[in-house]
Amino acid sequence: MKFRDGMWLVAEGKRPEYAEEVYSLTSDDGKAMSLLCPTRKIFQRSDSLNLPTLSVDLRAEFDGAISIEVTHWQGAQNPGPHFDLYPEGKPETRNTKITTTDTTTTLSSGSISATVKTAGHDFDIRFHATNGSQKELTSLLNRSVGFAYSPAPSNQMVTGNMTNFQHYIFTQTTLSVGETVHGLGERFGAFNKVGQTVTLWNADGGTSSDQAYKNVSFWISSRGYGIFIDAPDKIELEIGSERCCRVQTSIEGQRLKWYILYGPTPKEVLQKYSILTGRPGNVPSWSFGLWLSTSFTTNYDESTVNSFLEGMKARDTPIEVFHFDCFWMKAFHWCDFIFDSKMFPDPKGQIARLKSSGLVKKVCVWVNPYLGQASPVFKYAASQGYLLRRRNGDIFQWDLWQTGMGIVDFTNPNAIKWYVSCLEKLFDTGVDAIKTDFGERIPSEDVEWFDSSDPKKMHNYYAFIYNKIVYEALQNRFGANEAVLFARTATAGTQRFPLQWGGDCESTPEAMAESIRGGLSLGLCGYSFWSVDIGGFEGYPPPWIYKRWVAFGLLCSHSRLHGSNSFRVPWLVDDNNKSEQGCSRILSKWTALKARLMPYIFSQAQESVRLGLPLSLRAMCLEFPDDPTCWYLDRQFMFGDSLLVAPIFEESGEVEFYLPKGRWTNFFTTGEETRDGPGWFKERHEFNTMPIYVRQNTILVLGQASETRTVYDYCKDVQVCLFQTMPGAKSSLVDSEGKLVGVLEVGDDGNLRDQEFLHGSWHVTKKETLASR
Condensed to tens digits (0 to 9), the pLDDT of residues 45-72 reads 999 999 999 999 999 999 999 999 999 9
Where b means 16+ CB within 10 Å and e means fewer, 37-58 reads bbbbebeeeeeeeeebbbbbbb
From residue 460, alpha-carbon distances to 18, 407, 442, 471, 723 in Å are 29, 14, 8, 18, 45
Distance CA(759)–CA(710), nearest Å, equals: 19
pLDDT tens-digit map of 289-348: 999 999 999 999 999 999 999 999 999 999 999 999 999 999 999 999 999 999 999 999
Cα 366 from Cα 587, distance rounded (Å): 24
Q: Distance from CA of residue 295 to its chain's centroid?
A: 24
What CATH code is assigned to 1-73+97-173?
A: 2.60.40.1760
What is d(CA 544, CA 3) in angstroms, rounded to the nearest whole number? 48
Determine the pLDDT at residue 92.
87
10 Å Cβ neighbour count for 346?
A: 12
Q: What's the average model confidence in pLDDT over 17-35?
A: 94
Q: Which residue in the list 440, 482, 514, 634 is annotated as catalytic?
A: 440
- What's the confidence (pLDDT) of residue 771? 42
Give the pLDDT mean for 765-771.
62
Number of H helices, E strands in the chain: 11, 43
Mean pLDDT of the chain: 96
Q: What is the pLDDT of residue 772?
A: 39
Query: In sequence order, what are the beta bridge partners of 618?
Result: 638
CA separation, residue 343 to residues 304, 338, 378 (Å): 11, 12, 22
Task: Please answer whether residues 510 and 263 qualify as being in contact, where contact means their C-beta atoms are separated by less than 8 angstroms.
Answer: no
Beta bridge partners of 171: 145, 249
Dihedral of CA 695/699/705/709: which sign? negative
Angle made by CA atoms 619, 625, 628, in degrees to the nearest 5: 95
Share of the chain above pLDDT 90, in %: 95
Residues in CB range of 326: below 8 A, 6 or more apart: 296, 297, 334, 366, 437
Over residues 734-746, mean pLDDT: 97
**Residues 110, 192: Cα–Cα separation, whole Å:** 29
**The pLDDT of residue 330:** 96
Q: Residue 449 contacts by C-beta under 8 Å, 6 or more apart in sequence?
A: 388, 409, 411, 455, 458
**Residue 672's pLDDT is what?**
57
- Give the model's confidence band at 28: pLDDT under 50 very low, under 70 low, under 90 confident, else very high: confident
Assess whether 440 carries a catalytic annotation: yes
CB-based contact 337:426 (threshold 8 Å): yes
Q: Looking at residue 93, what is its pLDDT?
A: 83
Look at strands 362-367 and 433-436 and give their pairing.
parallel
pLDDT at residue 405 is higher than 80: yes
Distance CA 631, CA 752 (A): 35
Query: Which helix or strand (DSSP H or E) is residue 272 part of?
Result: helix 266-277
In this predicted structure, the answer to whether residue 769 has a pLDDT above a threshold of 50 is no
Average pLDDT over residues 183-206: 98
CATH value of 620-766 in 3.40.50.460, 2.60.40.1180, 2.40.10.10, 3.50.50.60: 2.60.40.1180
> Catalytic annotation on 437?
yes
Check pLDDT > 90 for residue 770.
Answer: no
Which amino acid does the sequence have at 607?
Answer: E
Residue 715 to residues 482, 583, 642, 702, 735, Cα–Cα distance (Å): 22, 32, 19, 9, 8
**Do 1-73+97-173 and 620-766 agree at the fold level?**
yes
Cβ(459)–Cβ(234) under 8 Å?
Answer: yes
Q: Is the pLDDT at 773 greater than 50, yes or no? A: no
Q: How would you class 143 by CB atoms within 10 Å of its CB: exposed for 0-12, middle for 13-18, buried for 19 or more? A: middle
CA distances from residue 57 to 76, 106, 257 in whole angstroms, order as listed: 16, 13, 9
Quick one: average pLDDT of 593-601?
A: 98
| Domain ranges (residues) in the chain | 1-73+97-173, 285-611, 620-766
Catalytic residue among 236, 325, 437, 533: 437
Dist. CA 100–CA 34, nearest whole Å: 14
pLDDT tens figures, 494-506: 999 999 999 999 9
**686 annotated active-site:** no
For the segment 642-675, what is each residue's pLDDT rounded down to a tens digit? 999 999 999 999 999 999 999 999 999 754 589 9
What DSSP assignment string belongs to 590-650?
A: HHHHHHHTHHHHHHHHHHHHHHT--SBSBPHHHH-TT-GGGGS--S-EEETTTEEE-----
- Residues 364-392: pLDDT tens digits? 999 999 999 999 999 999 999 999 999 99
Name the catalytic one among 186, 204, 454, 504. Answer: 504
Which distant-in-sequence residues (6+ apart) come within 8 Å of 29 by Cβ? none
Spatial contact of 395 and 388, defined as CB atoms under 8 Å apart? yes
The whole-angstrom separation of Cα 325 and Cα 437 is 10
DSSP-derived 3-state class of residue 705: coil
What CATH architecture applies to the domain 285-611? Alpha-Beta Barrel (3.20)
Q: Is the pLDDT of residue 219 over 90?
A: yes
Predicted confidence (pLDDT) per residue in 202-216, tens digit: 999 999 999 999 999
Per-residue pLDDT of 263-290, as tens digits, reads: 999 999 999 999 999 999 999 999 999 9
